[in-house]
Amino acid sequence: MPRGHLSYEERRTIAEGLLNGLAYAEIARRLGRPRSTVGREIARNGGPHGYRAAHAQRAAEWRARRRPSPVPGPPAATTDRRDPEAVRAFEELLTERLGGMPPMAARVLACLFTSDTGDLTVADLTERLRVSPASISKGVGYLELIGLIRRERDNRRERYVIDDEVWYHAWQVGARSMMMWAETVRVGVDVLGADTPAGRRLRTASRFFDLLSTDMALAAEHYRQTFAGDQDTAGE
């Protein structure tokens, strides 16, 4: 199977496949790519109903331009002063607050977010979480699918990487979820009839999810405008 980033032509194939109602597995087969790659690409770029090849390509190019260069980790003395029990307690608290996702995915995300390097191998995660590699794989697969982490190869080892904008990506996932809810509920309005009590109830719900999706998208853009300059000058 080909490796590396998706090309614009591949993204057009994905868009055409979705338009024709093809399953993710079939689109992946036609591209010669893993299904997880296709699923992650669709999830982070509008979902099955909102995916657009041109938009996805621009987003990928933007991420490539903004990807930070590796920076040295903090001096050992800094981490040595940390209380291991306090760190573990915070990871548990963070995992608990991430209750909207599968438990193992939440634990993996908490570990990555609290690591100074922002990347860990399966061996690292297995040691820290004291679970089997198979359990780690399930958690990682979910996080990759929704675009919160990415996989990179370091010699023979794979590393799972989280960047500083993980919460922005998570917010985008939430906004797309609200949009999908709005679309789903609108189907119910057509099925049950807009003038029926059930139809009116669903129409109100659809408006709610539409408004929430729009507000979340505006909040994400506000974040970009507010903090982009800080990130550009962080290393100066």
Extents of the domains making up the chain = 8-66, 79-161, 166-232
Q: What's the rounded Cα separation, in Å, for the pair 223 and 99?
A: 24
CB 108 within 8 A of CB 121: no
- CA-based Rg of the chain, rounded to a whole angstrom? 20
* Residue in 103, 200, 215, 119 with CA at minimum distance from that of residue 159: 119
Using 50, 70 and 90 to split pLDDT, how confident is the model at 180? very high
Name, in order, each residue with C-beta under 8 angstroms of 85's C-beta and a sequence gap of 6 or more: none
Helix axes 53-66, 8-19, angle to 10 degrees: 140
Report the topology of domain 79-161: Arc Repressor Mutant, subunit A (1.10.10)
Per-residue pLDDT of 120-168, as tens digits, reads 999 999 998 888 999 999 999 999 888 888 888 877 788 899 877 777 7
Tell me the CB-side half-sphere exposure of residue 185, using CA atoms within 13 A: 19
* Residue in 176, 202, 203, 212 with CA at minimum distance from that of residue 49: 176
> What are the φ/ψ torsions at residue 103 (nearest 5 degrees)?
-55, -45
**What's the gap between Cα 87 and its chain centre?**
25
Percentage of residues in the chain having pLDDT higher than 70 = 87
Q: Which two tokens stand for residue 108?
A: 């993996």
Using 50, 70 and 90 to split pLDDT, how confident is the model at 230? low
Q: What's the rounded Cα separation, in Å, for the pair 72 and 116?
A: 10
Q: Given this model, what pLDDT does residue 65 score?
A: 67
Counting runs of H as helices and runs of E as strands, what totals does the chain give?
12, 3
Q: Given this model, what pLDDT does residue 228 score?
A: 57
> Highest-confidence range of 87-91, 121-125, 169-173, by mean pLDDT?
121-125
Per-residue pLDDT of 17-72, as tens digits, reads 999 989 888 999 999 998 888 888 888 888 888 888 888 888 888 767 655 544 44
Tell me the CB-side half-sphere exposure of residue 1, using CA atoms within 13 A: 15
Q: Given this model, what pLDDT does residue 80 score?
A: 55
> Highest-confidence range of 1-15, 51-65, 204-218, 221-235, by mean pLDDT?
204-218
Q: Is the confidence at residue 170, as pLDDT, over 80? A: no
Q: What's the rounded Cα separation, in Å, for the pair 146 and 40?
A: 6
**pLDDT (average), residues 193-215:** 93
Name, in order, each residue with C-beta under 8 angstroms of 84's C-beta and a sequence gap of 6 or more: none
Q: Given this model, what pLDDT does residue 169 score?
A: 76
Comparing 13 with 157, which gets the higher pLDDT?
13
> What are the φ/ψ torsions at residue 216 (nearest 5 degrees)?
-65, -40
List the 157-161 sheet strands across, edge first.
119-121, 157-161, 150-154
